[in-house]
Amino acid sequence: MSWIVTGGAGYIGSHVVRALAEAGLSPVVIDDLSSGVPSFVPSGVPFVKGTILDRDLVEKTLRDHRAEGVIHVAGFKYAGVSVQRPLHTYAQNVEGTRVILEAMDAAGVANIVFSSSAAVFGTPDVPLVVESTEKRPASPYGESKLIGEWLLRDQAAATAESDRPLRHTSLRYFNVVGSADPSVYDVSPHNLFPIVFEALLAGKTPRINGDDYDTEDGTNVRDYVHVGDIAAAHVAAARRLAAGDPIEPAYNLGSGDGLSVKQIMDAVARVTGIDFTPEIGPRRPGDPDRIVATGELAARDLDWKMRYTVDEMVRTGWEARRAAGS
- pLDDT single digits (tens) 51-63: 999 999 999 999 9
**Residue 133, burial from CB neighbour count under 10 angstroms (0-12, 13-18, 19+):** middle
The yes or no reply on domain 177-223+255-293+307-323 and CATH 3.30.70.20 is: no
Among the listed residues 78, 141, 185, 213, the single catalytic one is 141
141 part of the active site: yes
The pLDDT tens digits for 249-266 are 999 999 999 999 999 999
Please give the pLDDT value at position 109.
98
The pLDDT tens digits for 72-93 are 999 999 888 999 999 999 999 9
User: Residue 80 phi/psi, 5° resolution?
Assistant: -65, -45
Average pLDDT over residues 60-74: 98
pLDDT tier at 303 (50, 70, 90 boundaries)? very high
Please give the pLDDT value at position 139.
92
Q: Looking at the chain, which residues constitute the CATH 3.90.25.10 domain(s)? A: 177-223+255-293+307-323
CB-CB neighbours of 257 under 10 Å:
11
Please give the pLDDT value at position 230.
98
User: Residue 211 phi/psi, 5° resolution?
Assistant: -130, 25
> What is the Cα 47 distance to its own chain's centre?
20
Among 1.10.1040.10, 3.40.47.10, 3.30.300.250, 3.40.50.720, what is the CATH number of 2-176+225-252? Answer: 3.40.50.720
Please state, in angstroms and as integers, the Cα–Cα distance from residue 44 to each residue in 39, 40, 151, following that order: 12, 12, 33
DSSP letter for 112, please.
E
- CA-based Rg of the chain, rounded to a whole angstrom? 19
Mean pLDDT of the chain: 96
Please give the pLDDT value at position 284.
79
CA distance 118 to 141: 11
Give the closest residue to 111 by CA, choosing from 242, 302, 272, 252: 242
pLDDT tier at 123 (50, 70, 90 boundaries)? confident
Q: Looking at the chain, which residues constitute the CATH 3.40.50.720 domain(s)? A: 2-176+225-252
CA distance 105 to 34: 26
To the nearest 10°, the Cα dihedral for 69, 70, 71, 74?
Answer: 180
Please give the pLDDT value at position 266.
97
The pLDDT tens digits for 184-205 are 999 998 899 999 999 999 999 9
Please give the pLDDT value at position 326.
58
Please give the pLDDT value at position 283.
87
E strand map for 207-310: 207-209, 221-222, 224-226, 250-252, 259-260, 279-281, 290-291
